[in-house]
Amino acid sequence: MNETSIKNALYAILFVAGDAVPIAELAVSLEISQDTLLPIIEDMIIQNAQNDAGILLKKVDKKLQLCSNPRYMQYIDKALQPIRKSRLSQSLLETLSIIAYKQPVTRIEIEQVRGVACNYSLAMLIERGLISRSGRMKTLGNPMLYVTNDEFLRHFGIESLKDLPSLNLTE
């Protein structure tokens, strides 16, 4: 399979998937190594950005997905008139920040940091798809554990949790 065919196959796979696909799975399905695939992906990302393409490739963690170019958002909004997502409230942002930096984390741990109950915030963040339940802690009561997910990364436009700003905890 030549490079052009690989690129075209990638677009087809990602279009049909509609969501982020692990790069390792893409390599397997294209019957090439990740070492061969990664430079092709990087080239595609650069080409799309240079050409100001309407469709861009975006790496999210170790996954790849198609996304629209933010430059054309005004036209997308006019054409599709999507329901606007409401902004995250201060309490949701605080809860989400604690989860992002301490994950996996229990509700009790979040409440200890915030000093207030967070049941509503957790329910809203789950409903918005920014966090997920990731099992239970093996301790008394088996409390639920919460983590961020790919939608969190997409929402904040970061590739991985390593891209979060560092915490300067000086006391």
- Output the tens digit of pLDDT for each of the chain's 171 residues: 899 999 999 999 998 888 889 999 999 999 999 999 999 999 999 999 899 999 999 998 899 999 989 899 888 877 766 444 567 888 899 999 999 999 999 999 999 998 888 999 999 999 989 999 999 999 888 999 999 999 898 888 888 898 888 877 654
Q: Please write down the HEC assignment for all residues of 72-131.
A: HHHHHHHHHCCCCCCCCCHHHHHHHHHHHHHCCEEHHHHHHHHCCCCHHHHHHHHHCCCE
d(CA 52, CA 56): 9
d(CA 168, CA 50): 36
Beta-strand runs (E) in 32-87: 55-60, 63-68
* pTM confidence score: 0.57
**Domains located in the chain, CATH noted:** 3-79 (1.10.10.10), 90-163 (1.10.10.10)
